Amino acid sequence: MNTILLIEDNEQLQKYISEYLEVYGFTTRILDDYDAVPETIAACRPKLILLDINLPKFDGFYYLKLIRKHYKIPIIIISARSEEGEQIRGIENGADDYITKPFSIGVLLAKINAMLRREAELHKRVISLDGLCLNEDTLSVAYKGAGTELSKNEYRVLRLLMKNAGQIVSREQLLEELWDDVSFVDDNTLTVNITRVKKKLMELGLQNCLETKRGVGYAFNTAALPNH
């Protein structure tokens, strides 16, 4: 469900934005307790947050910092503060976009849809497993702040094993993953790449994550991850 959390104290604007977004298939949740922002986010699990700056108790920058301590949810600031400095401040403190009031509701919808598309694409390109993150854009793997680069084939091997964590992946499946239009990947090449991936995971402090299932294939052992 595409839930949008609206942190805005103007009731007329609340109604206007909510009714418009709901026509386009969104569910809008309006924050009603400014003392329970993280708890509200945990309860409604929004895909995106619309955040005003002029709010009761504290300004939106305070809530922006508070949210960013706990969540990476996309945040669009909607504010009457149009000064360049305020916009820069919002982006530097973790907002993904900044729209000044008055704004076109159609433009707001377009920005929401574009941001959700980017988020969906990002999640496809990053595989995360108990803190271990594999990134397609950088061909790298990271764990607890430490990272290492991978070759294209090392990335392909680790991606298939992480996607099937806890299950045996046959050597045939892995060989198919390494196939390209230029060359045939033989069995020895697979063994070499598996050995290299194991070594790079060990560099990140992860031992025994890849298990050899003799005569069958390999498996990613999630129990070997300290966070598991």
Average pLDDT of the residues in 26-42: 95
Q: What is the DSSP letter of 147?
A: E
In the predicted model, what is the mean pLDDT of residues 34-41? Answer: 94
d(CA 36, CA 25): 26
Write down all domains in the chain, each with its CATH number in brackets: 2-124 (3.40.50.2300), 130-224 (1.10.10.10)
Q: Give a three-class secondary structure readout of 154-208.
A: HHHHHHHHHHCCCCEEEHHHHHHHHCCCCCCCCHHHHHHHHHHHHHHHHHCCCCC
pLDDT of residue 130: 87
Mean per-residue pLDDT over the chain, rounded? 89
Q: pLDDT at residue 182 above 70?
A: no
Pair 134, 160: CB distance under 8 Å: no
pLDDT (0 to 100) of residue 181: 38
pLDDT at 180: 52
Of 128, 21, 117, 119, the C-alpha closest to 72 is: 119
Tell me how crowded residue 213 is: count the other CB atoms within 10 A of its CB.
Answer: 12
Give residue-wise pLDDT tens across range 52-102. Answer: 999 988 999 999 999 999 888 999 999 999 999 999 999 988 899 999 999
Inter-residue contact 7 to 33 (CB < 8 Å): no
- Distance of alpha carbon 203 from alpha carbon 56, whole angstroms: 49
